[in-house]
A and B are shown apart, each in its own frame.
Chain A
Amino acid sequence: MVPVAVTVADGIAPSTVVPALERAGMAVDRVLDALGVVTGTVPAEGVFALREVPGVVHVERQRQVGLPGV
């Protein structure tokens, strides 16, 4: 499974897109209403299908982030 972050279009409540994301194979972790973002995981071959879900603007694989090293 690949961790992903999905943005939905301006003016669309992300919770309304969640059922379609789940039908497309995404296991939803968090629905971030203030940001219009949904995070979760999806099988690697399912990433493209998420982009086709109505209301979805971007789908990105989540990165590992840490403290900047010196």
Chain B
Amino acid sequence: MPEPTDTTTGRYLVLIDEGSAAAGARELSSVAGIRTASTLEGATAESLGTVDGVIYSNLGVAVVNAQPDQVNALAAAVEAPGPIALVEPERVVQALAAPAQENVTAAVDESVFTWGLQAVGANISTATGKGVRLAVLDTGFTVNHPDFAGRTVLTQSFIAGETVDDAHGHGTHCIGSAAGPRKPASGGPGYGVAYEADIYAGKVLSNAGFGSDGGILAGIDWALNNGCAVISMSLGSAVRPGTPYSQVYETVGRRALSKGTLIIAAAGNESRRPDKIAPVGHPANCPSILAVGAIDDQRAVAFFSCGTVDTVGQVDVVAPGVNVYSSWNGKSGDSLHKRIQGTSMATPHVAGVAALMAQQHNARGWELWARLMQSARRLGVPATDAGAGLVQAP
């Protein structure tokens, strides 16, 4: 067995096709002579002392001890038809302690602007997003929200049997962060980054919060046809480590960039720091889709924020995603606004900043991507968690 390094354990991970754990065990034995035990039969990581490998049936992953010739045999099995989909060295995943907060500053004053607007410098930028079209693909929009009276809002539902009206609330919250007001008609702090952008609200998730690739791709197509410079997607599905990104979304991301549209997506909320760092989900894990992680008002990475686990599928930037105040789908009073958390909330902050840059520099596509990365404020946390850092308004 190879020696462990700082980043690998010396063992290997074998990804087995979904639902093929038993066939995978047979294949490991026949092609490489690796004897495995299954967690379904009570095996644990400690079983590696008595067998060559342990199969985590629910994950479709085996952890195996393998000599170099066995690794070669497994690599050949990946190329050939059969249940073995991928072989890779097992990594050491570093548990990250929250950054030290020796001098915890007082809670941010949110009497005028949310902490999120202040953290990205939107409140001190002269840009407004005026003339820039910004699409938010989510659960829809509360069309009659008083804070958006007089704004240009175009809507389209891609969910059969549901109007664009946001019975969930999530979409209205995201639109608020990206493009809501600085002086809300219903009172409270200003919460919108690109407060004069034209809003394109595409409903690609149902009122229950679910959708499929078909509706999302249709929403992206709609945004491109309408000349949107920015698409904000606070949606996704969790992936296992080592899962290849979608070739379809990657192609779509590249084509969108070449047509002057930047797609920004939430990295995902599956981490449980410091114990577990989950990989960036689909479709944010595509290289040509900008993946956004979340930080709190002390600039610490949020406990749930997905991180860079695989060689592709990185976090590109971070933005405010904890205790985020924005619009909600209620009809009056307290239900017009809500505080929630998630990389879903960080994503529209980045989309709003991108819209400000699109206005300020007349930047589109790859140039917009580059300007976001160039100007992001570097944080004292690993690039695998924060990418280039905290986005900053122009």
Partners in one complex: yes
Please encode chain A, from 21 to 63, with 1 for each CB lying within 8 Å of some chain B CB and 0 for all others: 0000000011011111101100000000000000001101011
Cβ distance A33 to chain B, nearest Cβ, rounded Å: 7
Contact call B217/A67, Cβ cutoff below 8 A: no
> How many residues in B have their beta carbons less than 8 Å from beta carbons of A?
42
Measured between beta carbons, the chain A residues less than 8 angstroms from B39 are none
Contact call B342/A65, Cβ cutoff below 8 A: no
Cβ distance A22 to chain B, nearest Cβ, rounded Å: 17
- Measured CB to CB, the nearest residue on chain A to B210 is A66
Q: Does B218 contact A (CB under 8 A)?
A: yes
Known: A7-B251, A33-B221, A35-B221. A66 touches B214 (CB 8 A): no
Measured between beta carbons, the chain B residues less than 8 angstroms from A68 are 234-236, 238, 266, 268-270, 281, 342-344
Known: A7-B248, A30-B218. A67 touches B213 (CB 8 A): no
Cβ distance A1 to chain B, nearest Cβ, rounded Å: 13
Cβ distance B9 to chain A, nearest Cβ, rounded Å: 29
> How many residues in A have their beta carbons less than 8 Å from beta carbons of B?
27
Measured between beta carbons, the chain A residues less than 8 angstroms from B341 are 70
Cβ distance B255 to chain A, nearest Cβ, rounded Å: 6
Which residues of chain B have a CB within 8 Å of any CB of chain A?
Answer: 139, 168, 170, 205, 209-214, 216-218, 220-221, 224-225, 234-238, 246-248, 251-252, 255-256, 259, 266, 268-270, 281-283, 304, 341-344
**Interface contacts beyond A5-B217, A33-B221, A36-B255: sample of 8 additional A-B pairs, CB < 8 Å, sorted by A:** A7-B247, A36-B251, A65-B236, A66-B209, A66-B210, A67-B170, A68-B236, A68-B238
Which residues of chain A have a CB within 8 Å of any CB of chain B?
Answer: 3, 5-7, 10, 29-30, 32-37, 39-40, 57-58, 60, 62-70
